[in-house]
Amino acid sequence: MNRITRRRLIGLAGVSAAGLAAGGVGLGKAVEDGGAEDTVPFYGPVQSGITTPAQDRLHFASFDVATTSERELRDLMRAWTEASARMCAGRTAGPTNATGVLPPDDTGEALGLTPARLTVTFGFGPTLFDDRFGLASKRPAALIDLPPFADESLQPERSGGDIAVQACADDPQVAFHAVRNLARIGRGVVYMRWSQLGFGRTSSTSRAQDTPRNLMGFKDGTNNIKLEDEDALRRFVWVDDGDGPAWMRNGTYLVSRRIRMLIEVWDRATLDDQEQTIGRHKTSGAPLGADREFDPVHVDSLPVDAHVRLAKSDVRILRRGYSFTDGVDDRLGQLDAGLFFLAFQRDPRTQFVPLQRRLAQNDALNEYVSHTGSAIFAVPPGAAGPGRFVGDGLL
Ligand code: HEM
């Protein structure tokens, strides 16, 4: 819960991100250089963590900016880019870790771990484009405020935010370490609004991956856009020239939805009911009436309110969500667990919004789920190489 007001934080903000990034003596060579194994390149035309084969773990954090200085915001994105590039390469977040009179530049809990295919992906929320930084005229039209949908129970303390950080890795401690160190670097400039841990991927984003299962026990990600689908990526994921402001070219838009599953209710539904709800067989993942997971879906043969029937469309999205559990709902004594839905797309106005509208109205799954958090972010292109930073086209 966020109890500190933005105004108060502006008053407290003294230390700039750049001030914290000063150089010094490095750690031993092995740690400084990191390893090439298990490494996903940070720099590139698009950000990693989108078409990267989905890692097993997630730590997602949404930050609000406490300063009103565009320069401090720029310095922050520069410092965050540099630290992220280092951490993704398996190095420490910063170079100064052996000076007794200074706090180390790296908190240390990832020392000795592999990079675990860490990716760090940044996004800018609609609120960053208010009047604080003079960015209003640069807000892309596609970065809408999401409209309300039927029957959602959104909690403000789990929704929105100025800047998103999505850290994915095959090791939970590596993902946590990345978010923690970025938060530390940003201290005084940003504060964390909400964060979400994900313990298992609920999507495959490459044909080389097996389809995982979500907490309802169903294979999830079968008909997802995969990194091998270059045509679909161009059509449905990457922002192209002419789609909006030039700074978003090769970017994409991220919608996050924290979807709580009413697991206790689901677990009392019969297998037939469960399969009719999704529109696929539970064990094989095949469409109802078919045998194999990747057999074609014939929507006309599915119940009118089956999730897959309503979700299938010529307009597609790239899903990259994670299972979560956040302990117990005190009022009901039930697990607070579900699917932290993450979807990347070229234009949420024509992709997520109509899709979610259809689902919110008619999906049989609604009996078993409740949307408790929501956010949308413009995900800029990647930093092309050292010296560049994520968002430098905007800031
Ligand atoms: C807890 C909530 C949800 C659960 C448990 C769930 C589960 C599933 C499952 C099991 C499949 C079939 C396997 C596959 O093709 O990936 C599927 C497909 C799909 N879902 Fe969901 N889903 C949820 C929420 C959503 C939401 C919020 C959206 C978008 C607004 C969505 C969009 C899709 C799409 C586009 C497909 C592929 C349909 C196709 O082309 O065959 N899902 N989902």
> What are the C-alpha distances in Å from 255 to residues 71, 107, 309, 359?
27, 30, 21, 15
Nearest atom in ligand 1 to the alpha carbon of residue 316 is 35
Q: How far is the CA of 124 from the centre of ligand 1 (A)?
A: 25
The type of residue at 145 is: D
Model confidence pLDDT, tens digit, residues 276-326: 999 999 999 999 999 999 999 999 999 999 999 999 999 999 999 999 999
Residue 261, ligand 1, Cβ within 6 A: yes
Q: What angle do CA 103, 109, 114 make, to 5 degrees?
A: 130
Helices (runs of H) and strands (runs of E) counted in the chain: 10, 10
- Asked whether residue 35 carries a pLDDT value surpassing 80, the answer given is no
Local confidence band at 123 (pLDDT 50, 70, 90 cut-offs): very high
Cβ-based neighbour number of residue 149 at 10 Å: 16
Question: Atom 12 of ligand 1 has which residue's CA nearest to it?
Answer: 220
CA 71 to chain centre: 26
Per cent of the chain over pLDDT 70 is 91
Q: Quickly list DSSP for 325-387.
A: EEEEETTTTEEEEEEEEEEEES-TTTTHHHHHHHHHHH-GGGGGEEEEEEEEEEEPPPP-STT
Please check the confidence at residue 33 and state whether its pLDDT lies above 60. Answer: no
- Strand-pair category, 252-261 with 200-201: unpaired
pLDDT of residue 3: 38
User: Residue 359 CA: which ligand 1 atom is closest?
Assistant: 30
Percent of the chain beyond pLDDT 90?
Answer: 89
Q: In Å, what is the CA distance from 356 to each residue of 109, 348, 351, 372?
A: 39, 10, 9, 14
Does the pLDDT value for residue 18 go beyond 90? Answer: no
**Helix residue spans in 64-151 (DSSP H):** 70-88
Confidence of residue 37 (pLDDT cuts 50, 70, 90): confident
Alpha carbon of 319 to ligand 1 centroid (Å): 8
List pLDDT tens digits, range 342-380.
999 999 999 999 999 999 999 999 999 999 999 999 999
Q: Which two tokens stand for residue 387?
A: 């010296």
User: Is the beta carbon of 281 within 6 A of some atom in ligand 1?
Assistant: no
Least confident of 27-41, 120-134, 160-174: 27-41
Mean pLDDT confidence for 21-46: 60
Q: What is the pLDDT of residues 88-113, one digit of tens each?
A: 999 999 999 999 999 999 999 999 99
* pLDDT surpasses 70 at 183: yes
Q: Which residue reads 């170079």 in tokens?
A: 95
Q: Is the pLDDT of residue 6 over 90?
A: no
Query: Whole-prediction pTM value?
Result: 0.91
Q: How many other C-beta atoms lie within 10 A of the C-beta of residue 235?
A: 15
> Cβ–Cβ contacts within 10 Å for residue 314, how many?
6
